[in-house]
Structure 1
Amino acid sequence: MEVKSALLGSSIVKKYWMALTGLFLCTFLVVHLGGNLILLKGEDARLSFNAYAKFMTTFPLIKAVSYLLYFSILFHAFDGIVLTLQNRAARPVKYYFNKPEANSTWASRNMAFLGTVILIFIVGHMSNFWYKMHFGDIPMDANGNKDLYEVVVTFFKDPSLGIVYVAFYVLCMVALGFHLVHGFASSFQTLGLYHKKYNALIKNLGLVFSVLVPLLFAIIPIFIYIQ
């Protein structure tokens, strides 16, 4: 039986949606990273980080975009799974002398695995921080804002499990980097924006983005743990 998405029937259309939602999520990563880098100020970041968190969860336009973000994450993951199943169904029998590493990268062959790791990370991340910010009973800071800074610092500086949380966070950022290094450039290619005149620029930009963004994210919990 042909595997079909509940929303889309054509694999070509699915790839377009994967590309569009992927690039949208890349934009979110930059915005989210900008706010999280405030944490690198240490204790001085408490009030400014809490003010940022309040703005991101109460400003009407941001709240509206956040619903689009949640949909994009779920749709991107769902459509990726469907595409993976369709590709496997189209090649039910592997060639005996199949050597995929000869013409593809490790990241491109393992996008489903990398995406699954990232999805698990997002679920855990939202349960530990997003849920507590919205529904948790957390203390207020000196300005009367929910003290999400304290929640984040307490989480990563946990005496017994802090190092485990930090290590898991860093490993997930490595998975994100590999996922981005293939997904960034392939999104432009899917959308017809990958051309010999500027494909080198897109590839290099994608490589820088795929290394720099996860690296900066990974530095934050390490900094909190060792400060």
Structure 2
Amino acid sequence: MGQWKQKTLTRKNWMAFTGLFLCLFLVIHFLGNLQLLLPEEKAHLQFNYYSHLLSGNIIIKIISWVLYISIIVHVVYAIIIMLTNKRSRDLKYHYDRRAAVSKWYTRNMGLLGTIIFIFLVIHFRDFWYVYKFGALPLDAQGNKDLYTLVVAVYSETWYVLVYVLCMVALCYHLMHGFFSAARTLGVYHPRYVRWIKVFGWIYSVGISAGFALIPIYVHFLK
């Protein structure tokens, strides 16, 4: 029993650490994407230069590999914990009263995570894969013209709608994940719980709404 609890705690710790790293990456990624909101001519050249700078930097490449590994570890441990918890509930309870004591998004983290993972696969395919292996034209400065690709993709209404819906899923996923990580790492102390909740809400809503507004802005104003 003790060994089982230790394994569960280890998995939750990995979930917490990788989740917090992904939260940090989201902030950095969002700040880079804010360049898309600049006036068109400036945004075109600056965003392409920024993308080129990232693709040729060894430090960024290392961080990218850490990112890929973190996503895989986070997903794998999420699946293991979800299946373990389901088996445990099936064995211990005949009547599930979680709906009375927990938020709906807490009970549906598996569904929210699946939506986000599918979104990531599509997002990587449409941008990262095309940038790395596609035949993008070059801009006036000789950099791959990722900006034009972004504008073309976000010109599709259905894509923007799906993007926004996925950001709603991300928001709820972040809210639960942030509080869960705080508990797992032992910082969810009664003295600080109010501030942790406030920060978690501001971060989750702010980062998700920020990402959602970018394709909307590009769709209507570019």
Q: If the length of structure 2 is used for normalisation, what is the TM-score? A: 0.94
Instruction: Name the residue aligned to 1:5.
Output: none
The structure that is helix-richer by fraction is 2
> Who is 2:159 aligned against?
165
* 1:189 CA drift (Å): 1.0
Structure 2 partner of 1:214: 208
One-letter amino acid of the structure 2 residue matched with residue 190 of structure 1: T
Per the alignment, residue 125 of structure 2 pairs with 127
Match of 2:149 in 1: 151
Matched residue, 1:95: 94
1:184 and 2:182 matched:
no
> What is the distance in 1 between the residues matched to 2:12 and 2:63?
22
Q: Distance in 2 between matches of 1:42 and 1:136?
A: 26
Deviations 1:69-114 (A, max 9, x none): 0000011011101100000011116533x33122111111111111
Q: Does 1:18 align with 2:15?
A: yes
Letter in 2 for 1:119: F
- Consecutive unaligned residues of structure 1, counting only runs of 5 or more, are 1-8
- Structure 1 position 52, deviation (Å): 1.0
After the TM superposition, list the runs of 4 or more consecutive aligned residues in structure 1 that deviate by more than 6 angstroms. none
Q: 2:36 aligns to what?
A: 39
2:49 to 37, 48, 51: 51
How many residue pairs get aligned? The number is: 214
- CA RMSD in angstroms comes to 1.1
Indicate if the aligned counterparts of 1:42 and 1:224 stay in contact, CA closer than 8 A.
no
- Which 5+ residue runs of structure 2 have no aligned equivalent? 1-5
Distance 1:210 1:17 in 2: 20
Pick aligned residue for 1:205 from 187, 192, 199:
199
TM-score by length of 1: 0.92
Deviation at 1:42, TM superposition (A): 4.0
> Which residue in 2 is equivalent to 1:117?
115
Note the alpha carbon deviations across 1:106-129, whole angstroms, 9 max, x for none: 111111111110000000000000
SS at match of 1:92: helix
SS in 1 for 2:186: coil
In 2, the alpha carbon distance for the partners of 1:226 and 1:123 equals 25
Answering whether residue 195 of structure 2 is matched by residue 194 of structure 1, we say no
Residues 156-202 of structure 1: CA deviation (Å, up to 9, x unaligned): 11xxxx11000000000000000001111210110011111111111
Matched AA of 2:125: S
